[in-house]
Amino acid sequence: MEKHPVVDTKTARIETVRIETVAFDSLILRLFDAIDEAHMPWVLAAVKAVRDTLQERALEVVPSYTTVLVQVDIERLSLDEARHSLRQALARLEPLASGSGTLHEIPVWYDASVGPELPRIAERLKVSSDEIIARHCAHEYSVFALGFAPGYGFMGLVEEALATPRLKTPRQKVAAGSVGIADRQTAIYPATSPGGWNLLGRTAVKLFDRNREGYTLFQPGDRVRFIAIDRATFVAQGGDTTPQPEEVNP
């Protein structure tokens, strides 16, 4: 394990990043220890530094909450050589401009029939469902990473009061377009799948499309704002109003 410089966003000073070997052809740049929206400009800057430095010798560069995974073409570059080059590049790291990603406005029909946890969270906080909706829509969320399913973007951070643990028993079937929260993250299910997030509503927006350039709507560093719509608007947009089956008792 090696330590190399990276920036603390709160002090704008060079601190440390760990470069770790995770496979015979892969390194991980561990920039931070905690999830924070303020870290994304640095994570994205590290991605750019890797791509600019290694160019086509980097087969994959995958950002996440606090790390960047780098798969190296070891037929053209050894891991030691890649590590040395990245050490120099990271020493000159500067953050990308905040808000440089695409802003997506996602219309959501918030309703207990498709978001069973909406009234439960409202009851826990002793407020109305409308208040929960307003608070979920009030924040502009960062897309930290893609995973779990094609097009699935992990976003945050949800305000602490709304944070709700994952369901103890995941549902066997969550409808495509379902919007949910888990702890301080929020996300949209791009396709029907199992899942244990707390569902608040549903969107008709397609997150993964083979006819779209790049396939996925979201990219790490993008920003998302949810917009509450009524049932009629949701239906007009092609939304599926089939109620979410109650499979669990959270």
pLDDT at 250: 47
CB 218 within 8 A of CB 123: no
- Which CATH number applies to 103-236? 2.40.100.10
In the predicted structure, residue 97 carries a pLDDT above the cut 90: no
Share of the chain above pLDDT 70, in %: 91
Instruction: Pick left, alpha or beta for residue 177 (phi over 0 → left; psi -120 to 50 → alpha; otherwise beta).
Output: left
More confident residue, 34 or 217: 217
How would CATH label the architecture of 2-91?
A: 2-Layer Sandwich (3.30)
Cα separation, 81 vs 100, in Å, equals 31
- The whole model's pTM is what? 0.84
Show me where the domains of the chain are located. 2-91, 103-236
Q: pLDDT tens digit string along 44-95? A: 999 999 999 999 999 999 999 999 999 999 999 999 999 999 998 888 888 8
pLDDT at 247: 65
Which burial class, exposed, middle or buried, applies to 80 when counting CB atoms under 10 A from its CB (0-12, 13-18, 19+)? exposed
pLDDT at 211: 83
Joined together, the tokens standing for residue 32 give 């931070």
In the predicted structure, residue 8 carries a pLDDT above the cut 80: no
Q: pLDDT tens digit string along 225-241? A: 999 999 999 999 999 99
Which burial class, exposed, middle or buried, applies to 69 when counting CB atoms under 10 A from its CB (0-12, 13-18, 19+)? middle
Give the single-character DSSP code of 208.
B
Rg (CA), the chain: 20
pLDDT at 118: 98
Give the single-character DSSP code of 26.
E
User: What mean pLDDT comes out for the span 128-133?
Assistant: 98
